[in-house]
């Protein structure tokens, strides 16, 4: 859900600023896509940053950047970080889907808090076991 929210927020903010530029300068706003709107804003960036709302524009873009980063790689302990039970039978550990947590632990794959670890090539099997756990729990 956080990825969808971030995508929708990105489109809304980029479209809003593109409409502001179009109202002042006259060109039509491009199609409603992140690449088209971003390209449009980049093309008019020098003009936009010379206007009074430039600080607000910068703050909103920075906010989008942070929201997108959190959506794809939440900090451990954040409300949107995904933690699942370890797939090893009887293990009380939790597997975090955050690459940052694995990076901090010096792992190049995935692991649980109790020490079980899987290499990148094994992740499909781990994902299959996670899906099976979810189905069994439902």
How confident is the model over 14-24, as pLDDT tens digits?
Answer: 999 999 999 99
DSSP state string for 65-92: HHHHHHHHSPPTTSTT--EEE-SSTT--
**Torsion angle of the four alpha carbons 40, 42, 43, 44, in this order, in degrees rounded to the nearest 10:** 90
Give the residue-averaged pLDDT of 2-22.
Answer: 89
pTM for the model: 0.54
Q: Where are the domains of the chain?
A: 2-72, 83-137
């Amino acid at each position: 859900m956080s990825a969808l929210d971030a995508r929708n927020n990105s489109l809304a903010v980029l479209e809003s600023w593109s409409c502001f530029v179009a109202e002042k300068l006259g060109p039509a706003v491009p199609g409603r896509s992140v690449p088209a709107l971003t390209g449009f804003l980049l093309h008019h960036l020098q003009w936009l940053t010379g206007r009074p709302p430039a600080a607000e524009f910068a703050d909103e873009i920075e906010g989008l950047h942070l929201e997108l980063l959190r959506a794809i790689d939440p900090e451990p302990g954040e409300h949107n970080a995904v933690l699942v039970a370890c797939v090893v039978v009887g293990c009380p550990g939790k597997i975090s889907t955050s690459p940052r947590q694995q990076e901090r632990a010096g792992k190049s794959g995935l692991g649980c808090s109790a020490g079980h670890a899987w290499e990148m090539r094994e992740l499909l099997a781990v994902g299959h076991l996670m899906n099976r756990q979810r189905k069994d729990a439902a």
